[in-house]
Chains A and B, each alone.
Chain A
C-alpha cells in the first residue's frame, strides 16, 4: 500500500496562483510556525459565550477582548479595565477596535487590514444556522498545544483516523477507496469515498446502524486563511455528520478549536453522543500533534517521507505557502476563484434540504 519514499519536495505550484511564475513550493520546506496569513475572519468564540463580561481571545498573540454592549459584540485590543500603556496596533487601524461580526453562531474577528474587512470573505458553512442557535450539546471547545496548520493537516490526513481513532470512526478496512483533492486560491478540498467500510463503532453503538459495512463519503474542506475547516461525513446506512472545525492560531504554537457538529438530523442517542467524541478524538490527536509541533518550528534538513495517500496534506502545505508568498509580495487580495462565502453545499455533499436555514 505504501509507496515510500514518495518525494513531493519539488511539487510545482500552480503558476496562475503564484506571484512569481516558476517559483517552486516544497511540502518539505513547510515551516508553519513562520506563516502568518492576514486579511481574514477568525471564528473567535461561540456567540453565546460572549456576554457583557469581557472574554479573552488571541490571534497570533494579539489580544482580542470580546464583550457585548447593548447586545452588540465588541472586539477590542484592550480590556475595558486596562490601564493602556501600549499604542493601538495597525490591526485596528489605531482605533483599538477590530472589525467583528456574528454569523453561524460564532463571533468572527478580522485579522489584518481593518479596511479590507468584508463579510464576502467569511467562509460558507451551509449546515450551520446563519443566525446561530445550535443547541449547546452540539458545540464545544478544545485546545491543542500545537501550531494550527498541523491541526488542519491532521484533519485533512484522513488515513490517520483509521489508525489513531479506530475506536471512534472505524478501521481502515474497505472494499474500495477513492480520494480526490482539488483546490483554488483560498481552499483545498479532499473527498474520500469508501465502499464497504467497517462501520464506525460510534455509529454502531449509538447510531442504530446494524449493517457490518457502510458507504462513506468524507469531505474535508479547509479555508486556508481562516484556518477553518469543514469535515462533512455522509454514512449510508447511517447519518450525515457535519462538523465545523476552526483552528484559531491564538499563538503560533497554540490552537483554539470552538467546534460545532450539527447532529440535529441524526438518531436520538447519536446526536448527543457524537459531538462528545470530539473530546476523545482531540485527545488522541493532541498526543501526536503536540510533540510534532516543535519539530516543525525550525528548518529541518531531513525530508519528510510521504505516501501516495498524503496528497491532501502535501497539497495543503503547498497551498499555504503559495498564499504566504503572495502576501509576502504585498498581495492580500482574494482572487475570483477564492470567494469563500460562496455556497459550498454541493462540494461538501450537503443536501440543501437537510439543513434548510433561512438566511
Chain B
C-alpha cells in the first residue's frame, strides 16, 4: 500500500457545502468536510453505478450523497449509510463502501494517502496567508525538472529575477532534495553573469517523491523575505495540479515586511512557455532521477 501523502487541496478549497473533485494521476478523489469540519476523502466513484460522487452533495449529517441514485457514504469509514429506496434498512454489509483515503490537514494544506494506516506527514506549521491553485498542462516529472532548471517558467516573485547561477546544486540533505539559486532584484544592473555578488538567494527543499517544495527567498543579510510551499500533484491526462501557499516579509523590518505581504508578490503560472521550455537545457535536474531513486527505489508516480 502506497503511504505517500499528496497535498491535493488547500484548506479553504475543502468545504462542507460542495464536494471538491481532485485527482492523483488517473485516480479521481472527492473531498469535503463532515459535520465536525474534518476533511474527508473517498475515491470519486460511487461503487453502485460508478458515477462521480463529486457530482452529488453533502448532507446535513456530513455524509456525501451520490447525485445519481442518492446513496450516501460517511467519510470516516467510506461505508454506505443510506440508500433512498431502502430507508428501513439501517445496516449494510461491509462490502458496501467506497474506497477511503487517510486525510491530514496542516498549515493550510489537505493531504491524503491511499494507506489509511499511514503515519501522519511531518509538515511545517508556519502560517502562510497567500495561496492559490493552478492546473498546468505539463506532467509531474517535467514540472519538477523545470522547477529545478528554471523556476521563472513556473512562477514569479514581483521584483525578483531568478538567475541561472546556482550556489548549491541539487543534493540530498536529510532525505530532502535541496538546492540554492542566486537571484537579483529586477532593476538596472550588470547582466547576471557579470555581477560580483547577488543580493538574493532562493533555497528550495523538495520532498523527492511528491515534489512538494519549500521555497525560501533570503537576502544577503540572511533575512527571510518570502517563504513559500509549492505542492505539485500529478493529475489526469498528464496535467499537474499545483497548490501553493506563501508568507511574505516575515524577516523584514515592520513597514517593508507588511508592504510586501500586502502586495502579494507571488504568481504561480497556469501555463508554461513552450518555446522557452523546449530550449531549456537540463542542468540541476540532471541528477534528480538518480537522487530520487537512491532515496526511494519505487517512484510514487507508479501509484498515481
Which of A53, A251, A252, A279 touches B194 (beta carbons < 8 Å)? A279
Shortest Cβ gap from A47 to chain B (Å): 13
Which of B168, B193, B281 touches A143 (beta carbons < 8 Å)? B193
Cβ contacts under 8 Å, A144 to chain B: 193
Q: A81-B222, A253-B169 are in contact. Are A294 and B193 (CB under 8 A)?
A: no
Cβ contacts under 8 Å, B283 to chain A: 145, 253, 293-294
Cβ contacts under 8 Å, A169 to chain B: none
Residue A61 CB within 8 A of the other chain: yes
Cβ contacts under 8 Å, B292 to chain A: none
- The B contact surface, by secondary structure, is mixed
Q: Are A56 and B167 in contact (CB under 8 A)?
A: yes
Shortest Cβ gap from A329 to chain B (Å): 25
Which of B167, B180, B193, B286 touches A297 (beta carbons < 8 Å)? B286
Q: A56-B220, A143-B192, A254-B166 are in contact. Are A49 and B197 (CB under 8 A)?
A: yes
Q: Which residues of chain B from 10 to 50 have any CB-CB distance to chain A below 8 Å in the complex? A: none
Q: A81-B222, A294-B286 are in contact. Are A141 and B168 (CB under 8 A)?
A: no
Q: Are A250 and B167 in contact (CB under 8 A)?
A: yes
CA of A204 to CA of B278 in the docked complex: distance in angstroms?
42
Cβ contacts under 8 Å, A141 to chain B: 194-196
Residue B273 CB within 8 A of the other chain: no
Residue A335 CB within 8 A of the other chain: no
Residue A303 CB within 8 A of the other chain: no
Shortest Cβ gap from B61 to chain A (Å): 47
Q: A81-B221, A291-B281, A298-B286 are in contact. Are A253 and B166 (CB under 8 A)?
A: yes
Q: How many residues of B contact A (CB 8 A)?
A: 24
Cβ contacts under 8 Å, B194 to chain A: 140-143, 279
Q: Which residues of chain B from 138 to 197 have any CB-CB distance to chain A below 8 Å in the complex? A: 164-169, 171, 180, 192-197
Cβ contacts under 8 Å, B192 to chain A: 143
Closest to A253 in B: B283
Which of A49, A53, A143, A298 touches B165 (beta carbons < 8 Å)? A143
Residue A212 CB within 8 A of the other chain: no
Q: Are B168 and A58 in contact (CB under 8 A)?
A: yes
Contact segment of A95-103, A234-242, A261-269, A282-290: A282-290
Which of B201, B281, B282, B286 touches A56 (beta carbons < 8 Å)? B201
CA of A282 to CA of B192 in the docked complex: distance in angstroms?
13
Residue A201 CB within 8 A of the other chain: no
Q: Are B168 and A251 in contact (CB under 8 A)?
A: yes
Q: Are B169 and A61 in contact (CB under 8 A)?
A: yes
Cβ contacts under 8 Å, A251 to chain B: 166-169
CA of A291 to CA of B149 in the docked complex: distance in angstroms?
13
CA of A130 to CA of B207 in the docked complex: distance in angstroms?
48
Top 6 A-B pairs ranked by shortest CB distance? Answer: A251-B169, A81-B222, A61-B168, A141-B196, A143-B193, A79-B222
A-side residues, CB < 8 A to B, are 46, 49, 53-56, 58, 61, 63, 79, 81-82, 140-145, 250-254, 258, 279, 282-283, 286, 290-291, 293-294, 297-298
| Extra contacts besides A143-B165, A254-B165 (11): CB < 8 Å | A49-B196, A55-B220, A61-B168, A81-B222, A82-B222, A145-B164, A253-B169, A258-B196, A282-B193, A293-B283, A294-B283
What are some 27 contacts across the A-B interface (CB < 8 A)? A46-B196, A54-B222, A56-B167, A56-B198, A56-B220, A58-B168, A79-B222, A82-B222, A140-B194, A141-B194, A141-B196, A143-B165, A143-B192, A143-B194, A250-B166, A250-B167, A251-B166, A251-B169, A252-B169, A253-B169, A254-B165, A254-B166, A254-B167, A258-B196, A290-B281, A294-B282, A298-B286
